[in-house]
Structure 1
């Protein structure tokens, strides 16, 4: 089968096409023909080598954690799906940049006929990340104040919607030209982080959802400027949920603030809840770009993902009209 692999850590130029064997499935797994996948933050962090201390890979490695497609084979203990079902799922160890992908049955859900494969692929990791960050790690309650960084991004634009629907007061950061987009998602306040110091612009919040990778961090603590400011805007005993700093929970506790790195675990219940929210038109995923399933297409998608600004998700399409 065709796969777009990375041979080393580095920039978008590391990709090349290879012919590799179709993977075998275990009794709890499903073989899926990939129709659409994405560029996620996880893909970018792994490709660049930034996360090699957390998640090391063997080369050649196939990226792609989010995908949608059609079930081609099921394991003996699989009961939820059957061959031919359209599904979306999360491949925690990658594999989406290939014709066929193996998923655990617990890491997928069926796509309703009203939702396209492109939308479904864009929802998987971003939707799970937003959902679990807010409700599992943050334990968000109606009436609480939350600051969501990168409110126009893949995770951020979903988190803004979910938090607002849950009854929270939502403050988001975004570039100026994205303010209308983020307000339309439900944000009560939007701050242009390129011109305004968010730490001086908002009243204290109960929760911060941080997706900002500081380019400069302290060598001894690993803390950057954004993370330090996050602490200043949090109430005593608030919650700081990071998607970019795995070691954050090891830092000395400040004012009773609970700092956690959100390790996202795919499960059928959360995925189904997310897809039902879309089906009921309570949640919308924004597709910011569509790229072909080629070396050049995937490299271009990664380049655009690294460039600012973005709105929503970038999708890689293998099957036309999906």
Structure 2
């Protein structure tokens, strides 16, 4: 990272002094970032909002102080490049995920990160659409493709299929040629069928372990009892990828007894992954469903909306 953090110019950003409810988020004036070696500064047009944002805002167990500026999803225009950058020039439209978890800073007019955290924005979608993709789509891609090696004809079960990660995972799995099964409330089934889901289970009325079996891959974003019971629907040799922390060894033991893999993952900034996501979006095979947008100054309202747990797809902050 650069030792320089400002160039004398100011920008609008959303910050917080203490952990707490959404109301701790305030619009402030902060110094504009300056790119360090191999970094770029992006003029932010839109910033995606993810569950990890409000978890960091409220304070995670390992955090000693708040993140100065939240947010990891960025879509915008390259403002400045530093020495060593060959991928982009000022004026290029890009989107990407700031390195997670220590590279936050998307809730601002300008954000910086290593150039390879970004890819060129697909020309057929706007900045709101592209800002909704990076963290959630990378999570889904790294879980299904990099970790589980999902292949054509395999059966994949995606929990919370209408959520931010889930609805993108449905499309990525379909693009891989998989048979896609999802859990979601009935009211969200029509959208998920449009996105490519082959089978849908209403988790409120049906026990998924009784409705599905012989699954090759499970994508778990719920943890707890759902993750434990999901091991029962995997075929021998199958893989469960969880994007939430494991809090006990019981599931690991159960997975070993059943002859299946249990993997936990944390999303990483990934240029190759972003290019793959950009290609899918450019081809029309991946799109984010936008549940709501808010101006940057209303980040607190965006968090309140997201924390209801009833959103479909993504919430996005419009910066400019």
Q: Unpaired runs of 5+ in structure 1? A: 214-223
Moved more, 151-160 or 110-119: 110-119
Residues 228/112 of structure 1: CA separation in 2 closer, same or farther (3 Å cut)? closer
After superposition, residues 1-322 of structure 1 pair within 5 angstroms as: 1-49=11-59, 51-53=60-62, 56=63, 58-59=65-66, 61-91=68-98, 92=100, 93-213=103-223, 224-246=224-246, 251-252=252-253, 253-294=256-297, 297-319=298-320
Is 2:122–2:281's contact at 8 Å kept on the other side of the alignment?
no
Q: Normalized against structure 2, the TM-score is what? A: 0.90
Partner of 1:216: none
Structure-1-length-normalised TM-score = 0.89
Deviations 1:180-231 (A, max 9, x none): 1111111111011122111222123111101115xxxxxxxxxx21121111
RMSD: 1.8
Question: What is the CA-CA distance between 1:85 and the residue it aligns to?
Answer: 1.0
| C-alpha contact (below 8 Å) 2:241/2:264 kept by paired residues | yes
- Once the two structures are TM-superposed, the CA of residue 109 in structure 1 deviates from its matched residue by 0.8
**Matches of 2:22 and 2:156, distance apart in 1:** 34
Aligned residues: 304
CA distance 1:238–1:99, change in 2 (3 Å): same
Instruction: Quote the offset at 1:164 in angstroms.
Output: 1.6
CA distance in 2 between partners of 1:233 and 1:255 (Å): 10
Q: Is the 8 A contact 2:73 2:97 kept in 1?
A: yes
1:247 is displaced (CA, Å) by 5.3
1:52 deviates by 3.6
Kindly state the Cα deviation for residue 8 of structure 1 after the two structures are TM-superposed: 2.5
Q: In the alignment, is the contact (CA less than 8 A) between 2:122 and 2:130 conserved in 1?
A: no
Whole-Å Cα distance in 1 between the matches of residues 226 and 246 of structure 2?
Answer: 15
Give the secondary structure class of the aligned counterpart of 1:251.
helix
Select between 178-187 and 8-17 the one with higher mean Cα deviation.
Answer: 8-17
Structure 1 stretch 262-271 or stretch 181-190: which is displaced more?
262-271
**Alpha-carbon deviation of 1:64?**
0.6
